[in-house]
Amino acid sequence: MAKIKTKFYCTECGYETAKWYGKCPGCSSWNTMVEEVEKVVKTQGLTSELFQTKEKAQPIIHVESGKEPRVQTGIGELNRVLGGGIVPGSLVLVGGDPGIGKSTLLLQTSYEMAKAGLRVLYISGEESVRQTKLRAERLGALNAELYVLCESNMDSIGEAIESVSPDFMVIDSIQTVYIPEVTSAPGSVSQIRECTARFMRIAKGQGIATALVGHVTKEGAIAGPRLLEHMVDCVLYFEGERHHTYRLLRAVKNRFGSTNEIGIFEMNEIGLTEVLNPSELFLSERARGVAGSTVVASMEGTRPLLVEMQALIASTHFPSPRRMGTGVDHHRMNLIIAVLEKRMGMFLQTQDAYVNVAGGVKLDEPAADLAIAVSIASSFRDIPTKPDDVIFGEVGLTGEVRAVARAEQRVREAAKLGFKRVILPEKSMKGWKSPQGIQLVGVNTVAEALAAALN
């Protein structure tokens, strides 16, 4: 006889406990503990099948090595984020806000791979087969090698996989799939954990590249236990504002490539299209001759990206001035304001400071420091920067400008877009030759950078 057992799980982090807590002991979230009834069977658990192996341990020097084969998805931006293509047998988790375009991206990817001769199985637990075809007709993604299935029962999905034998598989979404043996509801911590373990066993055992769509919480994290992100090989986040046309695909975990690459797409009536020149897109609406606006050359993986840095300094009537930053590190912005106050003599204690990266891009590298400093100084002094200048460099606490990596790629991107001058750390100018038609201004301190940019 099976024994009925009641447990409580945290919907945010997956913490398991025998009694209810108002505040989760694992992640300190309030009112996230839910009760689930589990049927404890004396046989081995579902996840234990993952660790059954008949291979013997061997020295690592005797293991055959070789370059992992890659399958091209047909979408260049997705290939870039994945590290050159999708690896057979890998498990990819794609998360993002509702309506951001996760299903659209994966349906277009399925069509491109089916068009290349691969057999693709698209399983939807949220849409009927008719609805999926209507969406595919709108996207122009109809192909005989693209199989669709509306199913959420894991046993039925396993039978469909055996009959189709796909090379690539999409599960939309993992929160809708359930295993009948697990008595908790679909989308619960137990179901998500066990279903992901089952898909991982199928992907690794049969060499089927699998993409899982994951829902996100109101904080933006993927719903379900944190174990879900640890089990998969790659975690991709689809970002962007629903009211804007562009989308950013970013990898936060990738066992087969870098996590610094981003893919940029534009949403239109025919689906998602790749943005081949993102710098031109982000600078298309830039206002010229306005104080507080500069252009910074940032690196996203191996891709140079030019975006507009905006700053607004305004007098405050409150004892404590506001410091707000969008797209930049808030603590880094406060550090740069302190450097400007101490080293440059700017009295910013009675001023509100607002810094924004236009276009919704998030810059997390120190090379944006100098552009933030110049933007704040430009707005504070009400002196516009030159519209043909590009600025990048790291700022230290003593007011020095430190060297940054890959200065040559940043300068070449600026020259390609028609900029005439680049203000950069002087130590970053060594070891390479600048392209024709662009002037390089090397600086060692913030004072030198402000003198060059605002005079």
Annotated binding site for ATP: 96-103
d(CA 300, CA 410): 11
The annotated binding site is made up of 96-103
Other beta carbons within 10 angstroms of residue 98's beta carbon come to 8
Q: In whole angstroms, what is the distance from residue 444 CA to residue 448 CA?
A: 7
Contact between 375 and 293 (Cβ < 8 Å): yes
Instruction: Specify whether the CB–CB gap between 359 and 307 falls below 8 A.
Output: yes
| Alpha-carbon span 382 to 388, nearest angstrom | 18
- Contacts of residue 14, defined as CB under 8 A and 6 or more positions apart, other chains included, come to 26, 189, 193, 224, 225, 226, 227
Interatomic CA distance for residues 376 and 371, integer angstroms: 9
CA–CA gap between residue 185 and residue 181 (Å, rounded): 11
- Angle, CA of 238, 112 and 85, to the nearest 5°: 60
